[in-house]
Amino acid sequence: MNNAQKIQAGFDITNLSGNAKAVTFDVPVIVDADGEPVAGLTIVGKNSEEYRVANNAVRAEGYKKSARRKTAIDASTDEGAEQLVQAIDGNQKRLALAVVTGWYGFTHDGAPAPMDKALLEAAFDKYPTWQEKVTLALENDANFLKV
C-alpha cells in the first residue's frame, strides 16, 4: 500500500503535533539501466519551515519590486515577457533550492560528497530537469504526509 492509499484510509491526528519530525522525500535524479536510483535529492515539503521561509521571502521581494515599479510588468512586450519569465523561473529555483535538505549518491574522489547549495544551484543550471523533478515532487502532498 502506498502513502496515497494509506492516507485515504485515514489521517492520524497526532501528526498535527508541533513536535512531529519533518517528513522527507527522496527525488531520484540519476538512475541506472534498470531504473533504480543511483543519485538523488532529499527534500522537505511545502509545510516545512524551509519552504515557508523561502516562499515568504519570494513573495515579500515581489511586493517590494512591484511597489518600486509602481506598475505591473507589461507581458505584452518582448522585454516584459522575458522579465516575467526570468522572475518566475528565479522564484521557482529559489523554492526548489530551499526544500533540498540533502542528497545521496554524489561523490568526490570516491567519497560521499557533502551537500552544497552552491553546487546544487549549478546542477539545476546544468540539468534543469533536476529542478523540475524537485518541483513536481513538492506538488504531491502524499509524498510528505505521514500516515
Q: Are 40 and 103 in contact (CB under 8 A)?
A: yes
Q: How many domains does one find in the chain?
A: 1
Q: Are 24 and 43 in contact (CB under 8 A)?
A: yes
Q: For residue 15, is it within any domain?
A: no
Across the range 33-40, mean pLDDT stands at 96
What percentage of the chain exceeds 90 in pLDDT?
56
Q: Cα separation of 5 and 40, whole Å?
A: 25
- pLDDT over threshold 90, residue 26: yes
- Of the pLDDT bands very low, low, confident and very high (cuts 50, 70, 90), residue 56 is very high
Across the range 5-25, mean pLDDT stands at 67
Beta-carbon count within 10 A of 120 CB: 19
Q: Are 128 and 89 in contact (CB under 8 A)?
A: no
Across the range 14-23, mean pLDDT stands at 68
pLDDT at 33: 95
Q: For residue 8, is it within any domain?
A: no
Cell triple for residue 104? 545521496
Q: For residue 13, is it within any domain?
A: no
Q: For residue 44, is it within any domain?
A: yes
Q: Domain containing 136: what range?
A: 21-143
Q: Which of 120, 104, 124 is nearest to 112 (CA)?
A: 104
Q: For residue 77, is it within any domain?
A: yes
Across the range 50-69, mean pLDDT stands at 85
Whole-structure pTM value: 0.78
Q: Which of 138, 63, 64, 32 is nearest to 94 (CA)?
A: 138
Span of 64-73, 79-88, 102-111 with lowest mean pLDDT: 64-73
- pLDDT over threshold 60, residue 4: no
Q: For residue 121, is it within any domain?
A: yes
Q: For residue 12, is it within any domain?
A: no
pLDDT at 34: 95
Compute the mean pLDDT over every residue in the chain, rounded to the nearest whole number: 85
- Of the pLDDT bands very low, low, confident and very high (cuts 50, 70, 90), residue 79 is confident
- pLDDT over threshold 90, residue 7: no
Please name the helix (run of DSSP H) or strand (run of DSSP E) that holds residue 49, with its range, or none.
helix 49-69
Q: For residue 82, is it within any domain?
A: yes
